[in-house]
Amino acid sequence: MNVGGLPSLLKEGTKHLSGVEEACLRNIEASKQLYHIVRSSMGPNGMNKMVINQHDKLFVTNDAATIIRELDVVHPAAKMVVMAANMQEQECGDNTNLVVSLAGELLVQAESLIRMGLHPSEIIAGYTKAAQHASELLEGLACHTCEDLRNIEEVTRCLKSAIASKQYGYEDMLSKVVAKACIQVLPKNTSKFNVDHVRVVKILGGGVLDTHVMKGFVLARDAVGTIKHVTSAKIAVFATGIDLAKTETKANVTLKSADELLNFAKDEEKHMEEVIKQISETGTKVVVAGGNVGELALHFIERYGMMVLKVESKFQIRRLCKATGATPLVRLGAPIPEELGYCDVVSVDEIGSTKVTIFRQDTEDSGISTIIVRASTQNLVDDIERAIDDGVNVYKAMVKDGRFVAGAGATEIELARKIHAQGEASPGLDQYAIKKFAESLEVVPRTLAENAGHNATEIISQLYAAHTGGKTNDGVNVETGGTINAAEADILDLLASKASALKLAADAATTILRIDQIIMARAAGGPKPPAMGARDAS
């Protein structure tokens, strides 16, 4: 019997879902689940999530970017929201939670409109108009501009809000540390600021308040030899190991007497001493090897009074070269003066029973600054690193555009008020979608209030009253449960980051609403292999 319709068109086993109920609302439901997971982690009082990924690695964090990356989302519609959040993380490094929360809330509001009888295309038209209007309004809501990128007090003020959302209570200290680290590596051409030049070294022990910044490069390893401290050091960096050369082919050497054996060893020693002597004669005080350091080589390096370090990571070697101005060499021999790096002090220190080698620049500008993070547990150290990463990314964005808007939900309430007025003035059915877009923006102040344990409905009504009265910078006071002037309280959000988050959230929501059919081919291959068990700690 010949069966018509879609089954005859596609492969056997293909799943097909269509229509509002099966496709659109199912996608909204999947995105809502992701939104509910991430939403409770928003703001300074956001709750932590404990995520154990497929490799049995434990994450305890309220950083939305980390949560969604480790969740391994498989639903295609929810993946679109994840992709939008990942794009926000790459572009701005902050406000990832806003993308997921706003996209989720837009879809929740769209669901009520669909059930009311509106067609998805009308909702999409309304959301697109509202998003465009929001980005135009946002330009006029800037309340602060960072004028001097080298002023520690001003930069600290601008970074405080981004760090407080991750590490509430430590924001004053951490924002100052991040500001110092960023200013130290800010080049004369500020547009060339590179986030990779601010390094983080995590050392367990001590407290979070022991976190500090060092001008230069810190390597979490001990020196190989006995020399542990050098000043005014010229540095030779070798990308290869420092050891006796081995022949490429296997060969047998026949030795007929004891004298021949002694002379054979002496030649090798003489050659190695000659190489080390040539390096020493260039004025080199520190030798960095990218591979193994042989015992014979170490003996002669110590004899000539040089400090030796073994750095096996090629990325660490690059950063060390950036910090000292050295050139990594692929040949073993005396470097020319231009290939040598320089550092004021190279010393091995002990921080919390961990030996570290510090390349400290006291006089010259350093290409690298290092933040040494201290905390009691690995999870806390990792979370502080994420907060620092957010702060550094905000500084990078400040270099391009230093305008800030009021935080604590103040900007969202002001946008919601104005977009709602636009909806009231709009003819046609898309006015319902514009009003729902305005309502969706309330998710930020509502979530901030709920996560702090306050009455969200009461606070939102107070905010609307304040904004109608002209107090456009008033936001949620998470401590008392009332309102606060966010601009005066240094609760600032980067304008460019906020604009990007609004655009990405609206795009993700409208893309999901455009889907009217889901066609899934049957997975190829046999049954999935069994999951691997937990690996050894080593």
Tens digit of each residue's pLDDT (9 = 90 or more) over 210-257:
888 888 788 878 778 788 888 888 888 888 777 766 655 566 767 777
CA distances from 211 to 194, 270, 375 (A): 22, 48, 8
The rounded Cα 177 to chain-centroid distance in angstroms is 17
The lowest-confidence range among 257-271, 324-338, 454-468 is 257-271
**Cα dihedral sign for 268, 274, 279, 285?**
positive
Q: Pick the closest to residue 302 from 287, 282, 320, 289 (CA basis).
A: 287
How far is 220 from 483, CA to CA, in rounded Å? Answer: 46
* Mean pLDDT rounded to a whole number for the chain: 80
Q: Which position has the higher pLDDT, 13 or 143?
A: 143
Beta strands 341-351; 229-238: pairing state? antiparallel
Q: Give the 3-state secondary structure of residue 24.
A: helix
Is 2's pLDDT higher than 80? no
Q: Token pair for residue 415?
A: 């946008």
pLDDT, average across residues 511-523: 72
Q: What is the secondary structure of 30-88 as a DSSP string?
A: HHHHHHHHHHTT-STTPPPEEEE-TT--EEEE--HHHHHHHHT---HHHHHHHHHHHHH
pLDDT at residue 233, as a whole number: 81
The pLDDT value recorded for residue 232 is: 83
Q: Could you tell me which of 23, 18, 29 has the C-alpha nearest to residue 111?
A: 29
Per-residue pLDDT averaged across 95-112, rounded? 87
Domains of the chain with bracketed CATH: 9-144+405-520 (1.10.560.10), 214-400 (3.50.7.10)
Which residues are CB-contacts of 177 (< 8 A; sequence separation ≥ 6)? Answer: 211, 212, 213, 371, 388
Radius of gyration over alpha carbons of the chain, in Å? 30
Closest to 367 measured CA to CA, from 399, 400, 321: 321
Residue 537 has what pLDDT?
43
How far apart (Å, rounded) are the C-alpha atoms in residues 120 and 292?
64
Here the tokens at position 406 are: 């009021």
Render the burial of 434-454: b for 16+ CB within 10 Å, e for the rest. Answer: bbbbbbbbbbbbbbbbbbbeb
Q: Find the mean pLDDT for residues 200-210.
A: 83
Quote the pLDDT of residue 1: 39
Question: What does the DSSP assignment read for 453-467?
Answer: TS-HHHHHHHHHHHH
Residue in this structure with the two tokens 């050098």, named with its chain if needed:
230
**pLDDT at residue number 378:** 84
**Band of residue 538 on the pLDDT scale cut at 50, 70, 90:** very low
Give me 65's structure tokens. 């970017």
Q: How far apart are CA 509 and CA 124, in angstroms?
A: 9
Which of 45, 47, 41, 31 minimizes the C-alpha distance to 105? 31
Tens of pLDDT, residues 19-37: 566 677 777 887 888 888 8
Q: Measure the CA–CA gap between 258 and 268, rounded to whole angstroms.
A: 16
Alpha carbon distance 456, 435 (integer Å): 20
What is the value of pTM for the model shown?
0.79
Alpha helices in 140-170 (DSSP H): 152-164
228 backbone φψ class: left, alpha, beta (φ>0; ψ -120 to 50) = alpha
Whole-number pLDDT of residue 520: 62
Percent of residues, the chain, with pLDDT higher than 70: 87
**How far, in whole angstroms, is CA 32 from its chain's centroid?**
25
Assess whether pLDDT exceeds 80 at residue 461: yes
Alpha helices, DSSP H, located in 217-373? 258-281, 295-303, 314-324
Share of the chain above pLDDT 90, in %: 0
pLDDT confidence band for 199 (50 / 70 / 90)? confident
Query: How far is 155 from 145, CA to CA, in rounded Å?
Result: 10
The per-residue pLDDT for 9 is 64
Residue 365: pLDDT over 70:
no
Residue 63, both tokens: 């950083």
| DSSP helix/strand/coil, 105 | helix
Instruction: Quick: pLDDT tens for 413-424.
Output: 888 888 888 888
pLDDT of 388 > 60? The answer is: yes
